[in-house]
Structure 1
């Protein structure tokens, strides 16, 4: 069998069965292609979470590698082994393998470069992973098949590299392609989980939540990299949406062992962080320290140090030692920045802000968080803004709105005031109708101007367009305008009531009033008519 035939056989089996029969991909005893055979066997072992078995196979493959194909393949498996075992490795050889990736034979370039990029991501080498995407061919055909099951897995690999490199838009496109083209059950499971974590990171909470619940509803055992990985991704999607309980449930389903030995060390550390956070949220210091103890040995690994420091920061804050918590959060940030892991650095900043606010350093906490959110907004990490806003809200402070999002960057209250501004109301008139002080209205107005990137009230009117009578629709109150805006985003009455801090029956009355005024009979009718009023 050719190299392509053997790799093709292995990759197909990795997606569709739990155990891979070696006769499908290894040459008979006495084969002269030792490096490639050992890399194949090592990849099969890694996929099953058997890192100790994979380690000598990967090392043997590296020693025998003497051409670009085997160099890249062997180092991919070595990287995946290092990601799952507490062993160090010569990172210069990893970089060297990436440098010859353009010379990999054409029929093997897509799978081998994608595996090397996945290994780089697993080792927190985002610089190498991102560079490899420039040589990964289009994800359209693999070994002559447009429906090859491993194509979906490769798309998911690429989506995760793009996401953690800060390209949320690119990650969304790859994840959407993976979901649309998945054919087998295993493909669909992994693609759904990948899309959920991308949606969660982008701030698309409803889509992420739906994907997470689809994964958790499945009767799956964590038997290999796909099933364990699906639960891990579901866990990450839940945690970026602040659903700690669901995230903990998904985390615990990713392994049958509380040490999570079959998952990569970076994922292992994040599992312990999620479980620590759940314990901290429940005020259970003993449980938090138990998970911290599990995580502590991982601190020496380059991919886990930042996470272990965040775990320590959470536990210290719960124990009442804010100064120590701040020191640990700062170390976490430093390690994440050094590794080029923007999302982890942002999470560390949020923990540091929490410690600073506990130390009554609220001004500095607010300034640091504003800077972090500005950077996160530029990369599309909507979850960072939400987490930072929650921390500041607890001490009566707020973030500036995202100037790139206009209407979508405003709160429900600010949307109502934007409508009144566009209607020509003065600050005094808005204050009277909304039962606010003029000082509060001025603050809201400045935030609305900032959100639309305009210096004057006329600019807001231009952005939103003429409302109410000018549009030919019945005039609505400011509260009704807020509710219409939320209906247009797909919000339910229950979620609208929570957002506006009113009863659900009050929301129902306003919805009925809007239907009567606009002469529509459904919520979709309201959303359709609203689309002509403002950019929502």
Structure 2
């Protein structure tokens, strides 16, 4: 039955469940799959009341989670604490328990409990007893969604690459395309063109009127908005939602979809449209899955209406709520909304600090869309973000690359300023960003990481004593005096004396110049000739 649901079939509810005494759990799943809100709630409640064994209770509790995800008024008790207890220690190699964990994780994610969903998923190190089936696709796409919505884009990208072939086999190519759009859209800028193509592919496909069909449209919409294509995203959301309230969707997706529609109104400065969409989102505020999103919607509305103070307060609450639920993507979006609100209140420092915090959280997980959005917001205030730490040349601006090249050629701050017609302060700012981009704290560290530039051959190492050569060689690796002393088993004062003497012998003005000359001299030493095979005797 599950395979039939995944592949778009109208499975007979309960046809596989009679012997297991869990007909209502399966009926709840079918109702959820095809958008039946009241039916999902009714059957989930019956399943919970009738469950007689641990597996039946696990399936019933999972369907209760699905019912909560669909109902604006979560009348059923949150099932996930008990669900974790029932699943703890069960044999994941058993197909039934493996499926129960997957269904539980799906319920948690549709209730916007991202960390819980990842914890409930079957262990990825345990071979799937459903390998090669549509059920395996359900589990694998679920892991990708949870990783992506948790801001772990690099991990999600690795997982989504392995999903495409098995998804195509089971006629789930549009689901895989939507997932890929979500992941690539949130990844590095180079993924934007591929994301747009995937979004167009999903948009051009017939819409399946079930959880998979609506999900494919939504995933593509979230990928589009990550690249800044809010209008295409809004169109996809409206197709998935079925009506103006987006009532065909789960509560969290209704809220996220309405936020996208509010964003389009923001883009056009259409206060009436923003108010209309925000009013549809207001009834969702009491639902735990939608609370942080509705707060962001209210913050956007307040900002558009010019109430900066209210916008800041609401956006701060939205960030706190999203972080508490492990919803990293939403927390990042909340920080972007908060920064815009700060700018509206003329609080530039607060906006800058907020966005720097956002990228410091997002960068390690490969969530590049946050940096793109943050950079756009700060540019309106004439500010810039620090580059990606250890991102190298690719994250520097053309002017920063010019400055870096001159630093590596040995020019000091004033000489660089004169050469590039910049102020010394601007040069200092560029240098700090360059050091950050290469993940080093000093110019010597930059030399060690990148190597010097220029045509000069460097000074002759033979002009130094053997011990001075040892010291300068370690300095050129970015070592401090203390580290050099420890490596050579001499005192720090002895290191300082050797550095001072080497400066004199090489007529160098600084430790940086010592390191640069040393590295230039190393580069100038020709490589030894390649060894040749001895000629055969008598040749």
- Of 4, 11, 29, the residue aligned with 1:20 is 11
- Of 114, 120, 134, the residue aligned with 2:102 is 114
Contact (CA 8 Å) 1:118, 1:157: kept in 2 or not? yes
Q: Determine whether 1:364 maps to 2:350.
A: yes
In 1: Cα distance, 2:259 partner to 2:455 partner: 54
Q: Determine whether 1:212 maps to 2:199.
A: yes
Q: Give the structure 1 partner of residue 366 of structure 2.
A: 380
- Of 172, 181, 203, the residue aligned with 1:187 is 172
Cα distance, 1:292 vs. partner? 0.7
TM (normalized to structure 2)?
0.78
Q: Give the structure 2 partner of residue 354 of structure 1.
A: 340
In 1: Cα distance, 2:157 partner to 2:338 partner: 30
Cα distance, 1:46 vs. partner? 0.8
Match of 1:254, SS state, is helix
In 2: Cα distance, 1:169 partner to 1:157 partner: 16
Match of 1:300, SS state, is coil
Q: Give the structure 2 partner of residue 171 of structure 1.
A: 156
Q: Give the structure 1 partner of residue 119 of structure 2.
A: 131
Q: Deviations over 1:326-349 (max 9, x none)?
A: 122122123223323222222222
Which of 109-118 and 432-441 deviates more?
A: 432-441
Task: Call closer, same or farther: CA 1:227–1:447 in 2, change over 3 Å.
Answer: same
Q: Give the structure 2 partner of residue 272 of structure 1.
A: 258
In 1: Cα distance, 2:249 partner to 2:169 partner: 23
In 1: Cα distance, 2:185 partner to 2:453 partner: 33
In 1: Cα distance, 2:231 partner to 2:218 partner: 14
Q: Give the structure 1 partner of residue 422 of structure 2.
A: 436
Cα distance, 1:137 vs. partner? 5.0
Q: Determine whether 1:453 maps to 2:439.
A: yes
Task: Call closer, same or farther: CA 1:254–1:93 in 2, change over 3 Å.
Answer: closer
**Which residues of 2 match residues 81-96 of structure 1 at below 5 A?**
81-89=67-75, 91=77, 93-96=79-82
Q: Give the structure 2 partner of residue 323 of structure 1.
A: 309
Q: Deviations over 1:168-222 (max 9, x none)?
A: 3322222111124322474211112112212223335424333223222x23225
Q: Determine whether 1:148 maps to 2:133.
A: yes
Cα distance, 1:139 vs. partner? 7.6
Stretches of structure 1 lacking an aligned partner (at least 5 in a row): 1-9, 471-536
Contact (CA 8 Å) 1:265, 1:303: kept in 2 or not? yes
Contact (CA 8 Å) 1:330, 1:348: kept in 2 or not? yes
Match of 2:388, SS state, is coil
Which of 289-298 and 459-468 deviates more?
A: 459-468
Q: Determine whether 1:237 maps to 2:223.
A: yes
Cα distance, 1:45 vs. partner? 1.3
Number of residue pairs matched by the alignment: 453
Which of 451-460 and 48-57 deviates more?
A: 451-460
Cα distance, 1:286 vs. partner? 0.7
Q: Give the structure 1 partner of residue 235 of structure 2.
A: 249
Q: Give the structure 2 partner of residue 494 of structure 1.
A: none
Cα distance, 1:68 vs. partner? 2.5
Match of 1:396, SS state, is coil
Cα distance, 1:266 vs. partner? 0.3
Q: Determine whether 1:225 maps to 2:211.
A: yes
In 2: Cα distance, 1:91 partner to 1:420 partner: 65
Q: Give the structure 2 partner of residue 6 of structure 1.
A: none
Larger Rg: 2
Q: Give the structure 2 partner of residue 162 of structure 1.
A: 147
Contact (CA 8 Å) 1:356, 1:365: kept in 2 or not? yes
In 2: Cα distance, 1:183 partner to 1:385 partner: 33
Contact (CA 8 Å) 1:329, 1:352: kept in 2 or not? yes
Cα distance, 1:104 vs. partner? 5.6
- Of 185, 190, 197, the residue aligned with 1:200 is 185
Match of 1:223, SS state, is coil
Contact (CA 8 Å) 2:29, 2:63: kept in 1 or not? yes
Contact (CA 8 Å) 1:68, 1:104: kept in 2 or not? no
Q: Determine whether 1:76 maps to 2:62.
A: yes
Q: Deviations over 1:134-169 (max 9, x none)?
A: x445585444xx321232221110111222334333
Contact (CA 8 Å) 2:153, 2:366: kept in 1 or not? yes
**Which residues of 2 match residues 285-434 of structure 1 at below 5 A?**
285-432=271-418, 434=420
In 1: Cα distance, 2:84 partner to 2:408 partner: 55
Cα distance, 1:116 vs. partner? 0.7
Cα distance, 1:354 vs. partner? 1.2
In 1: Cα distance, 2:8 partner to 2:126 partner: 23
Cα distance, 1:253 vs. partner? 2.2
Cα distance, 1:377 vs. partner? 2.1
In 2: Cα distance, 1:139 partner to 1:174 partner: 16
TM (normalized to structure 1)?
0.78
Contact (CA 8 Å) 1:200, 1:238: kept in 2 or not? yes
Contact (CA 8 Å) 1:159, 1:175: kept in 2 or not? yes
Give the root-mean-square deviation of aligned CA atoms: 2.5
Q: Deviations over 1:213-260 (max 9, x none)?
A: 3222x2322511111101101111111222212211222221331211
Which of 274-283 and 398-407 deviates more?
A: 398-407
